[in-house]
Each structure stands twice: as C-alpha cells, then as structure tokens.
C-alpha cells in the first residue's frame, strides 16, 4: 500500500457551517488521517512551526500549534518534520528576503522527504506580490494562507491531506487561501503555550492608524476588539493552568474597545485583568502615544500586578517627520506623556521604537530625534533603518535618504541608546528586585566563574531586563527575589535571596 492508497473510512456527515465547530470537525477528520498515517509509517508525525517577527506572530504560532497538537501531530525542534509552517513577517524588506532563503532550504528537505507538507502564513502572505513570487519560484509549497484565516488551519490542512492521501489529485497543487480583510474573530480554538508560566493574549486585531511607512494596516486589516468577557475567560483559564504572567497584545492597545457593542476601554480592561486571581504580572504592547489616557496611567500606578514598564514607540523626535509619518503627536506631546508617566510611577521603565532614514529626514530632523532620546533616556529601544514598503504612502515620497547617511545616523543613535540604557540599568545595581524565573541558563554564560554542577537561571525583571543567577531549576516559572550584583549593560549578574 502506498500513501496515495489510504482511504478515509468516515461516512460523510454534514460539515458544520458555524465556527469554531467547523474547525473542530476538521481537526477530528485530520486526526483520523494522521492516525492512519502513523500506523503506515510506524512512527509519529511531527510538525515544526517557525515564527518570524513580533509577539503577535508568536501568539498566532501558539494557536497553529494548538490545532496541530489536537490532530495528534507532535512538535519537532528542527525543520526535518512532516509539516513545516513558516509564520512570516513583512514589516521590513529584509524580513521577506530572509523568508525566501529559508523556503529554498525547505525545498531541499522536501526532495529528501516528498511527503513533507510546507505551509506559509502570516503577514507576508497578505502581499499579492509575495504570493506571486512563491507561486512562480517555489512551486513545491503546498499551502499558503493569510493573517485573517489562520483559524482555518484544520480545514486547509484537511484539503491538503485529501489531495495527498486520498489520491483525488495526484498532481501537486498549491492551495492558496488569503483573505483581504475580515470582521470575524473565532474564539475557543486550542492553543499551546510555549512557556508554562507566561503567555500572550490577543485583545484586538488589526490597526487603523495608517502610519505612512507601515504595511501592518494592509496585512492585518482594520482594528477589531475581542469582547472583554472572552478575554477575561481566557486569562482565567490560563491562570488555572499555572500561567502567572500575561502580555495583552494589540497593535494599538490604547484604542481597545472601539466598535464593541458594550462600552469598554483599555484602562477598564486592565483593571479587570488585574483582579484575576493567580495572575502576578501583566504586560501589554503596543501603546500608541496619541491614545495613551490618564485613566491608563492611573490604573497602572495603582496596580500591584501591572509591570512598571511601557513600550511607547516614538518613531521620530522631529515634528515635521512625525506629521509626515501620520503619527498625530509632537515631540513635546511625547515628552509630556513621559513626564506624566514618571510623575505617577518614578520607577517606570520606558522603551521605544525609532525609525532612522524616513524619507526627507534631514540632519536637523535626526538631531531632534537624538535630543528626545537624550531627554527621555530610554531604558531600551528597538532601532530600525527605514525600509521602503511598496504600497505605503512613504514609498512614493521623494527624498529617500541615501543608505550611507542612514547608516551613519543609525550608529549615532545606537550609541546614545546604549549609553542612556546602560545608565538606567546601572542605577539598579545593588538593589534586590522580584524576577520571574524563565529558564536555566544556556551554555556559554562566560561572565560567571561557573561552578561545576551548579545550575544557573535566567530571570526577567519587571522592566524586562534579564538577570542570571545560581539557583535550582524547580524555580522556573516562580517569582523570586534576586540581588542585582553587577550590571553588564543589558543584563545583570545576581544572587538569589533566600527568604
């Protein structure tokens, strides 16, 4: 018997139209096909999901894995697996380039294992040009889907399995299902948690801001919020499974609640999450400065569980560029927010995103950015070289800045960020702080004069920095007090405080 001879033995029953029932139906059908295949191959089937990009994609991948696990497929560290899914990013051009290289590698693996299923999803697949290129140059790919129908994985995979396993279509076919947008939010599908103690929670999807450099509104669609009850139930369920830290996720969490039938806003949602038993730490990202409310600052300041950390993308310190970027705030507005935040919470860590080389950026614009960075003294910053994204208004702007000028400015910015963030971190040296223990230290932490047989751990501070210290692995997932003995710039060496 060959793979193609496997027949599905189910009597056809009506496919449910409603979600998530429809997907559970397909998960069960896939599970049966997987069982047959496992018997035939005399080994388990394995999947590998590779995530590119941001927290949002990371969360989506946990959902993909939840569906695959429900089908009885097991996780595999390497790409030498039966099903490989790349969950792609397209924020910057080099993210795309990287993915093409990796798809080429998958093609080689598929030559060794022709039964392998290769699927691509995520933001890059929302771009028609990328899909076209894959159709033309990587015809061995089996499945392409987008950001709006990721909940459909079970159904899509079933269609691929059918082609493959039931011999209905022997010629290789690339199944492409990409939606332009959706108003649908499908709740209650399974999810795996990569970490047993922390997890992301989508509170909203999409973005309505249309910053002129950004492809996200195109690839993730219009803003839509989940109902508070669904979010709170999910977090309660997480808490019951031992999760102690949640990260509330949205492109612009500060506009949470718009368009919902019931009145809801982000500050209100946060205070409800704050009341959930067992959740010790709450993080959120990303906050758009234009929508950061006084109520939010107030809720943060009063809460014991919301981390004293805010990620507040500045993008540029030049009012002229902020306008051209469609950001709806000025450098002075931003500084006022920082002042308010620090007045309410003197110890709050502020991190940011900055783009260098936006079209038309002059030396004066850039020095305005440096000035704001000096004044704020960010705890850390993600710094990006502007990347021209076809279809965005900025791509059509004149005065694209020459690469050598951008590079030189980028290095100067890095230096300012490095210095101020190091100063911020150093100020904590000698203090004892609460950290969430995340993992045992990987090999190669040279900074310690490691004792043989001693386990070293990595813990995360409220401000998101890491500390390495000696301890025992049963502390993973626990909150412990650690003395920060030495600052190494972006991390600390510390010692565990026994109570």
Nearer residue to ligand SF4 within complex by CB, 210 or 448? 210
Question: Which is nearer to ligand 5AD, 53 or 459 (by Cβ)?
Answer: 53
Phi first, then psi, for residue 28 (nearest 5°) are -65, -40
Q: Which partner in ligand 5AD, ligand SF4, none is near 254 (CB below 5 to 8 A by kind)? A: none
Task: Give the H/E segment covering residue 205.
Answer: strand 204-205
Residues 354-373, mask of contacts with ligand 5AD (x by CB under 6 A): -x------------------
CA separation for the pair 404, 187 (Å, rounded): 48
Please enumerate in sequence order all residues whose Cβ is within 8 A of that of 85, keeping only pairs 6 or more positions apart, or say none. Answer: 47, 48, 49, 50, 61, 64, 119, 120, 121
Nearest approach in angstroms of CB 390 to ligand 5AD is 10
Q: Measure the CA dihedral 371/307/229/478, to 10°.
A: 140
* Rg of the chain over all Cα atoms, to the nearest angstrom: 24
> What is the separation of C-alpha 338 from the centre of its chain, rounded to a whole number of angstroms?
25
Rounded to whole angstroms, how far apart are CA atoms 383 and 421? 13
322 binds ligand SF4 (CB under 6 A): no
Quote the CA–CA distance of 97 and 61 in Å, as a whole number: 20
Give the end-to-end CA distance of the chain in Å, rounded to a whole number. 64
3-state secondary structure of 248: strand
Left (φ > 0), alpha (ψ -120 to 50) or beta: where does 477 sit?
left
- Are the C-beta atoms of residues 293 and 267 closer than 8 Å to each other? yes
55: left (phi over 0), alpha (psi -120 to 50) or beta: alpha
Residue closer to ligand 5AD by CB (options 404, 443) is 404
Binding ligand SF4 (rule: CB under 6 A), the pick from 209, 254, 352, 369 is 209
The least distance separating ligand SF4 from the CB of residue 401, rounded to whole angstroms, comes to 19
Scanning 2-10, 151-159, 386-394, 458-466 for contacts with ligand 5AD by CB under 6 A, the matching segment is 386-394
# residues near ligand 5AD by CB under 6 A = 12
Contacting ligand SF4 (CB under 6 A), which of 116, 125, 214, 394?
214
Q: Which residues, 6+ apart, have CB-to-CB distance to 259 below 8 Å?
A: 223, 224, 225
Q: Which 254-293 residues touch ligand SF4, going by CB under 6 A? A: 288
Find the binder of ligand SF4 among 252, 254, 380, 458 (CB under 6 A).
252
Does 214 engage in binding with ligand 5AD (CB under 6 A)?
A: yes
Task: Give least dist CB 392 to ligand 5AD, A.
Answer: 7
The 10 Å CB-count burial string (b at 16+, else e) for 6-41 is beeeeeeeeeeeebbebbbbbbebbeebbeebeeee
CB-nearer residue toward ligand SF4: 207 or 461: 207
**Under rule CB under 6 A, which residues in 76-105 are in contact with ligand 5AD?**
91-92
Q: Tell which one of 105, 210, 382, 490 touches ligand SF4 (CB under 6 A).
A: 210
* Residue listed under structure tokens 């959120």: 284
Binding-site string for ligand 5AD from residue 6 to residue 45, where x marks contact by CB under 6 A and - marks none? ----------------------------------------
> Considering only CA atoms, which of 287, 360, 349 is closest in space to residue 322?
360
Nearer to ligand 5AD, 16 or 391 (CB): 391
Among 313, 317, 359, 459, binds ligand 5AD (CB under 6 A): 313
Choices 167-175, 206-214, 366-374, 453-461 (CB under 6 A): range interacting with ligand SF4: 206-214
Nearer to ligand SF4, 23 or 369 (CB): 369
Closest by Cα among 365, 359, 425 to 394: 359
Q: Which of these ranges, 60-68, 75-83, 163-171, 210-218, lies near ligand SF4 under the rule CB under 6 A? A: 210-218
- Asked if 209 is part of the footprint of ligand 5AD (rule: CB under 6 A), the reply reads no
45, 67, 189, 216: residue in contact with ligand SF4 (rule CB under 6 A): 216
Least CB distance to ligand SF4 at residue 352 (A): 12
Q: Per DSSP, what are the bridge partners of residue 493?
A: 468, 486
Binding range to ligand 5AD, per CB under 6 A, among 33-41, 202-210, 385-393, 401-409? 385-393
What are the residues binding ligand SF4 (CB under 6 A)? Answer: 207, 209-211, 214, 216-217, 251-252, 288
Residues that bind ligand 5AD in the complex, under the rule CB under 6 A: 91-92, 213-214, 313, 315, 353, 355, 384, 386-387, 389
């Amino acid at each position: 018997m060959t793979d193609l001879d496997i027949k599905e033995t189910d009597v056809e029953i009506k496919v449910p139209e409603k979600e998530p029932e429809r997907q559970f139906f397909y998960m069960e059908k896939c599970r049966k096909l997987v069982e047959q295949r496992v018997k035939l191959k005399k080994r388990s089937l394995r999947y590998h999901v590779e995530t590119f990009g941001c927290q949002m994609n990371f969360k989506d991948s946990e959902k993909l894995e939840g569906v695959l696990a429900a089908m009885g497929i097991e996780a595999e560290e390497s790409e030498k697996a039966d099903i490989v899914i790349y969950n792609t990013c397209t924020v910057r051009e080099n993210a795309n380039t990287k993915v093409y290289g990796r798809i080429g590698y998958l093609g080689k693996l598929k030559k060794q294992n022709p039964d392998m299923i290769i699927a691509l999803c995520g933001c890059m697949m929302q771009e028609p040009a990328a899909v076209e290129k894959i159709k033309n140059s990587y015809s061995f790919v089996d499945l392409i889907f987008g950001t709006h129908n990721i909940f459909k994985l079970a159904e899509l995979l079933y269609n691929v399995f059918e082609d493959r396993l039931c011999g209905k279509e022997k010629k290789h076919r690339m199944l492409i299902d990409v939606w332009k947008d959706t108003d649908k939010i499908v709740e209650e599908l399974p999810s795996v948690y990569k970490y047993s103690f922390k997890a992301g929670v989508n509170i909203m999807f999409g973005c309505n801001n249309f910053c002129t450099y950004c492809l996200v509104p195109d690839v993730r669609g219009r803003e839509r919020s989940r109902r508070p009850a669904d979010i709170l139930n999910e977090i309660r369920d997480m808490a019951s499974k031992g999760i102690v830290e949640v990260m509330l996720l949205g492109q612009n969490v500060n506009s949470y609640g718009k368009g919902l039938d019931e009145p809801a806003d982000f500050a209100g949602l946060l205070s409800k999450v704050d009341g959930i038993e067992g959740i010790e730490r709450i993080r959120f990202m990303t906050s758009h400065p234009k929508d950061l409310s006084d109520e939010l600052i107030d809720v943060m300041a009063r809460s014991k569980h919301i981390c004293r950390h805010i990620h507040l993308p500045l993008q540029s310190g030049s009012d002229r560029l902020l306008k051209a970027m469609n950001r709806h705030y000025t450098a002075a507005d931003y500084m006022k927010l920082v002042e308010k935040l620090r007045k309410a919470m003197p110890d709050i860590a502020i991190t940011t995103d900055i783009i260098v080389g936006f079209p038309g950026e002059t030396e004066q614009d850039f020095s305005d950015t440096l000035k704001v960075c000096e004044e704020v003294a960010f705890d850390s910053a993600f710094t990006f070289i502007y990347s021209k994204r076809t279809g965005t208004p900025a791509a059509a702007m004149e005065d694209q800045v020459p690469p050598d000028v951008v590079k030189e400015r980028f290095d100067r910015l890095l230096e300012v960020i490095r210095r101020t963030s190091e100063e911020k971190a150093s100020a904590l040296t000698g203090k004892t702080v609460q950290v969430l223990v995340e993992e045992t230290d990987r090999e190669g932490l040279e900074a310690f004069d490691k004792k043989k047989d001693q386990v070293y751990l990595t813990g995360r501070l409220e401000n998101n920095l890491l500390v390495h210290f000696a301890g025992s692995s049963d502390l993973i997932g626990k909150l412990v007090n650690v003395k920060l003995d030495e600052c190494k710039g972006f991390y600390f060496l510390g010692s565990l405080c026994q109570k």
